[in-house]
Structure 1
Amino acid sequence: MIWIVETITQKFDNLRTLMKGSSSILIEDGKVNTKALKKAKLEMEQLRTLLRMQGIFSLRQVEHAVLETSGMVSVMEKAREEPVSKGDVLEDYEKNVPTYLVVEEKDINDRNLKLMGKSKEWLLDELQKLNYHLEDIYFAEWSKTDGFFIQSYQETSKEK
């Protein structure tokens, strides 16, 4: 069966997309493409898992991400986030710390707040200081060293 599908898709280009699908741009210019994410039936935490499998531990690091037809995610990091040998550049540098998804599609992630040792009140106060309202947030990520990385619904990229 696999051989038949491969042979047909090689001989007939117009059937390739129908039978194998096409890649989807999940992140473009550093913004999550919510329409592509929903079309691929992925949640934010699933996207973050796929990125972590590529060695990316924060959405802030991603310039472009493509969901390939194989189900793998190809990632282009932001130029300033590309790895460098810290030992060659710095004598003293900060330890890597995890990031936490604290808001996903307007919902507060209580489990991650608890892991961080923070409360809902703290989160709402911090968001207010940054002039964000919970109902406007598509996702919010937080780390001890970098603070918040937030994308509102207004900032989500449009599917092309």
Structure 2
Amino acid sequence: MPSWVEIVVRTVVSIVTLLVLTRIIGKRQISQMTFFEYVAGITLGSIAGFISTDLEGNFLHGFTSMIIWALIPALLGYLALKSKTVNDIVEGNATILIKDGKIMEDNLKKERMSGEELLEQLRLKNAFSVADVEFALLEQSGEVSVLLKRDKQPLTPKDLQMKPAPIKEPQTVILDATIMLEPLATAGLSTKWLHTTLDKMGISLDNVYMGQVDSYGQLHVDLYDDQITPPTPQEFPLVLATLKKCQADLETFALETKNEQAKREYEANAKALKQVVEQVTPLLQQ
């Protein structure tokens, strides 16, 4: 067999083997890999490259070595799921860097992290002042998790005693000027609705690079022609404005009428409509 043919065969087999073995190891990101998994990955690539071109070396020996280097991390990962002791040995433990707003200097030294590095990691988490941090933890992956003090945390709908509307996955119904039928059906919409909505927006399908339907059934588009700004969906704001106008009209009628029975009915209906407006406002202001 010619040398170049053998190199091609060895390379193809190595690539396929490497692909299968990396799938066995898992799909962790580089930042989430343990040090051992990182070293094992580099070693696997080195072995694959070596046995692809070393015609004098025994291919079977290199192939066996690749399998062993892949199976051991996979086995340790499986055992780490079953045993906390093994997990602590393989994965390591998280380290507290800031507790109750106080920097743990001994833990910083233990992890060989300087004060500047700590500040850098805090800035990456949008915490530019140590005084704003209640708790910080160096995770097993090397990432720093930060918990801000209560008064420094952003407000949530729960803090304001608001019940936000549920959110569903946006569906991409147009891609590269082509209608995507499956996502459109998933959103419970039809091609007729899509064409009608585009006509209302004054946009041609040929000019749409991407169109997405949000969880409230509104179409948002990105156009090929960047000089054109697509209109913002106005259906929900118009509905909310109409409801508020109806409420205001009922209140006005209640003030103007001299009929006591009609006044009471107007006031009751205005109050009921006000409650409806308060309930649907989070839905219509998305």
The alignment's TM-score, normalised by the length of structure 2, stands at 0.28
Q: Which has the higher contact order (CA 8 A, sep 6+)?
A: 1
User: Hey, which of these two has a bigger chunk of strand by percent?
Assistant: 1
